[in-house]
Amino acid sequence: MPENSPKAARALKKDYKSTGVSFFMFNPRQMLKDMANTIKLARKSDKDDYMQHLRLVVLGMATVGGIGFIIQFTFAVINLGHR
């Protein structure tokens, strides 16, 4: 069966409906149900998890900032020699 045939499209749509993923059209009711289910399953992280994530985020920001500073400083020094 060709991939672009209507029969294939219906089969694909049926497969996506069975998984709960809306593929061909936007379904606001299903999206709201999915959002509510996500909120029900979500839990607040404890202090240890929060501190670990905070450390990783701060480390990542410091790394990116440090790399940016080194690049900017290097080009500032290089440009001073050309004046």
Cα Dmax for the chain: 71
Question: Measured in Å, how far apart are the chain's first and last C-alpha atoms?
Answer: 70
Between CA 10 and CA 18 the distance in angstroms is 12
d(CA 11, CA 49): 43
Backbone angles phi, psi at 68, to 5 degrees: -60, -40
Structure tokens at 7: 């029969």
**pLDDT, tens digit (0-9, with 9 covering 90-100), for 1-30:** 455 566 665 665 555 555 555 555 678 888
For the segment 50-66, what is each residue's pLDDT rounded down to a tens digit?
Answer: 999 999 999 999 999 99
In this prediction, residues 23-48 reach a mean pLDDT of 84
User: Which pLDDT value is given to residue 45?
Assistant: 84
> What percent of the chain stands above pLDDT 90?
37
DSSP state of 3: T
pLDDT of residue 58: 98
